[in-house]
Structure 1
Amino acid sequence: MQSGLQSNQKLSKKPSSGFQVWWRLMRPHTLTASFVPVILGTVLALLETSIHIGLFLTMLLACLLIQAATNMINEYFDYKRGLDTADSVGIGGTIVRDGIKPKVILNLAFSFFGIAALLGVYICMNSSWWLALVGTICMSVGYLYTGGPLPISSTPFGELAAGFFMGMIIILISFFIQTSTVTTTSILISIPIMILVGAINMSNNIRDLDGDKKNGRRTLPILLGRTKAIKFFAGLLFISYMWIIVLAFIGIASFWTLLVFISVPKAIKAVTGFIGKSEPIQMMPAMKATAQTNTIFGFLLSIGIFIGYFF
Structure 2
Amino acid sequence: MLLGVCMSLYYFHSFNFTNSILFFIAMLLFNMAVDMMDNYNDYNHAIDTQGYKRKTNIIGREHISPRLVLGLLVSFSVIAALIGLYLVSQVGLPLLWMGIFCFAMGILYSSGPFPMNGLPVGELVSGFTMGFMIMLISVYINIYPNFAWTWINLGKIWMVALPCELWISNLMLANNICDAQEDEDNHRHTIIHFIGQRGGLIAFVIKNVLAFLMIITAVLLHLAPWTMLLTLVIIPFVVKQTKKLIHQQVKLKTFPCAVKILLVGSLVQVVTYAIGI
TM-score, structure 1 length as denominator?
0.80
Rounded to whole Å, the distance in 2 between the matches of 1:188 and 1:124 is 26
State the match for 2:220 in structure 1.
Answer: 249
Amino acid at match of 1:75: N
- The answer to which of 126-135 and 188-197 deviates more is 126-135
DSSP-derived class of the 2:99 partner: helix
Shift of 1:136: 1.9
For 1:238 and 1:278, locate their aligned partners in 2 and report how far apart those are by CA, in whole Å.
20
**Structure 1 residue 209 displacement after superposition:** 0.9
Contact 1:266 1:289 in 2 (8 A): no
Q: Tell me what 1:113 maps to.
A: 77
Task: Report matched runs for 1:111-260 at 5 Å.
Answer: 111-180=75-144, 181=147, 183=153, 184-260=155-231
The alpha-carbon deviation at position 119 of structure 1 amounts to 1.1
Q: Partner letter of residue 136 of structure 1?
A: I
AA aligned to 1:254 is: P
Please list every run of 5 or more consecutive structure 2 residues that lacks an aligned counterpart in the other structure.
Answer: none
Task: State the one-letter code of the partner of 2:136.
Answer: L
RMSD between aligned alpha carbons? 1.8
Task: Give the structure 2 partner of residue 301 of structure 1.
Answer: 269
Residue-by-residue CA offset, 1:169-212 (whole Å, 9 max, x unaligned): 00010000011226242221111211111111111111111110
C-alpha distance in structure 2 between counterparts of 1:87 and 1:137, whole Å: 34
Q: How far is 1:264 from its partner? A: 2.0
CA contact (8 A) 1:200 1:291 kept: yes
Give the match for residue 292 of structure 1.
260
Q: Does 1:66 align with 2:30?
A: yes
Q: 1:220 to 1:270 in 2, by over 3 A?
A: farther
How many residues are treated as equivalent by the alignment? 265
Q: Which runs of 4+ in 1 moved over 6 A?
A: none
Identical columns (%): 26
User: Contact 1:266/1:290 (CA < 8 Å) preserved in 2?
Assistant: no
Contact 1:195 1:240 in 2 (8 A): yes
Using the alignment, how far apart are the partners of 1:159 and 1:174 within structure 2? 22
In the TM superposition, what whole-angstrom CA distance separates every residue of 1:46-87 from its partner, at most 9, and x where no partner exists? 122342211111111111111100111111111111253343
CA distance in 1, matches of 2:103, 2:240: 32
Offset from partner CA, 1:103-154 (integer Å, 9 cap, x none): 3212211111101011112221221222122212211211111110001011
- Return the offset for 1:217: 1.5
Between the aligned partners of 1:246 and 1:307, the Cα distance in structure 2 is 18
Task: Please report the TM-score for the alignment, with normalisation by the length of structure 2.
Answer: 0.89
For 2:267 and 2:173, how far apart are their aligned partners in 1?
21
- Matched residue, 1:263: 234
Gaps of 5+ in 1: 1-37
Displacement after TM superposition at 1:221 (Å):
1.9
| Aligned position for 1:99 | 63
Query: Could you tell which deviates more after superposition, 161-170 or 56-65?
Result: 56-65
Residues of 2 paired with 1:296 and 1:282: CA distance? 18
Q: State the SS of the aligned residue for 1:159.
A: helix
Out of 75, 81, 85, the residue aligned to residue 53 of structure 2 is 85
